[in-house]
Amino acid sequence: MDRSSLIACHDCDLLQRETVLAPGGIACCRRCRAELYRSYPGGTARPLAFAIAAAIFFAIANLFPILGLKVNGNIVQTTLSGAVWLLYRDGMWPLSGLVFITTILTPLTEILAVLYLLIPLYLRRTPPWPRLAFRVLLLARPWSMTEVLILGVLVALVKLAHLASVVPGVGLWTFGAAMMSLAAMAAAFDPRIVWASRHHPLARNGDNGGDGVPALRGASRLSAPTAARAGICVCHGCGQLSVLPPHAHAGDCPRCGARVHLRKPDSIPRTWALLSAAMILYVPANLLPVMNTRSLFGSQNDTIMSGVVYLWVSGSWPLAIVVFIASVAVPMLKILALMFLVVTAQMHNAGMSLRCTRIYRMLEFVGPWSMLDIYVITILVALVQFSSLATIKAGPAAIAFGAVVVLTMLAARAFDPRLLWDAEEKRHA
């Protein structure tokens, strides 16, 4: 196999040859159909333009109110940072921290990291510390949830419309524009352009040797079907292949510096531990009140299901279905699906590899959408603060539910889908 064109699938570890794609083309793994890489037209100019637009819109969105609520001449408005502060002031600091990280910190980090990498490359210069910036970008991207926030604001808007006059703020529209710019930036940004550029230090110092896979020098058994059987590690950050020293199971990526392993260490035990914690917290998350409303007519505690019922009986049945799927069905199905994947990997079931890999990719995609109810609560708590008429406070179930979302996402990231294909390799060995 030609070393200069080697690439390994992140999901099934199959070694394949890299080919030249037409503009906009996508290369998929021939065994599990996972996306390997794609051709990004536009070079650095297009993602840089989207990143600049996202930075502008995101700054405006955080400076101006998202929504306003008008009751008897009194107007309450809130920015996203104001809603986060109010949760913290009410003693809900775990929830406040979660909302801050997923809606302010990680989107901002993602935008700044892309700008940090692309502006020097666009000016034909070398970005300082590109490895660190690239790894920060990869760390922030899965936890950036602006699209879920926008849907949560829309659900909150429907609920608030039954209480008072709702005034959409400038922040709402600019958050929508920031969300679209972020999505366009992510779709246009080619991570490989950071390393392929002739202005990058690794492209000038001979570490590549011109073949793009410097660490493969001296590799053995390149005819093996998978990277692990060839003694090769694939970096899940930059895609670089590297050869581990004899009898080693881990090392550092020679290109981006990330830690690489033949298989994720202790993948099965870590996934079970995170799943067990999520299953325990799933019970109070659905039984305890997620929100407490106090008004002139008394106090009312609402669970997640009662919120779904309220949307349904008020005529907003499409939103009721969305909230039920995102806040009730998806967390439960994620737990059950991850349990199925772990048991399948432990039993070395060779006939389920492709189906299980598709389930795993679906879990990664739907994971962030379970945060929907958390954002709805955040907006309601921030706006319904009419002390003489009504106030809304977050309940203990909100913290438990937020923990379930985080734990299931961590469990999905701890699970190594390549374990599902190891049984296939043993069967065909």
Q: What is the secondary structure of 75-108 as a DSSP string?
A: EEEE-HHHHHHHHHHTT-HHHHHHHHIIIIIHHH
pLDDT attached to residue 130? 86
Reported in sequence order, the residue ranges of 105-209 that DSSP labels E, i.e. its strands, are 165-168
Closest listed residue to residue 427, CA positions, set 354, 355, 348: 348
Burial class (CB in 10 A: 0-12, 13-18, 19+), 239: buried
Measured distance CA(36)–CA(246) in Å, rounded: 28
How would residue 426 be classed by pLDDT, with cut points 50, 70 and 90? low
Measured distance CA(330)–CA(412) in Å, rounded: 13
pLDDT attached to residue 3? 46
pLDDT attached to residue 153? 87
State pLDDT tens for residues 374-420: 898 888 888 776 555 567 788 888 899 999 999 999 999 999 999 88
pTM listed for this prediction: 0.85
Highest mean pLDDT of the ranges 23-32, 104-113, 350-359: 104-113
How would residue 203 be classed by pLDDT, with cut points 50, 70 and 90? very low
Closest listed residue to residue 281, CA positions, set 383, 207, 370: 370
Measure the CA dihedral 232/234/235/239, to 10°.
130
Closest listed residue to residue 192, CA positions, set 46, 44, 12: 44
Does residue 22 come out as left (phi exceeding 0), alpha (psi in the -120 to 50 range) or beta? beta
- The residue-averaged pLDDT of 156-168 equals 78
pLDDT attached to residue 280? 94
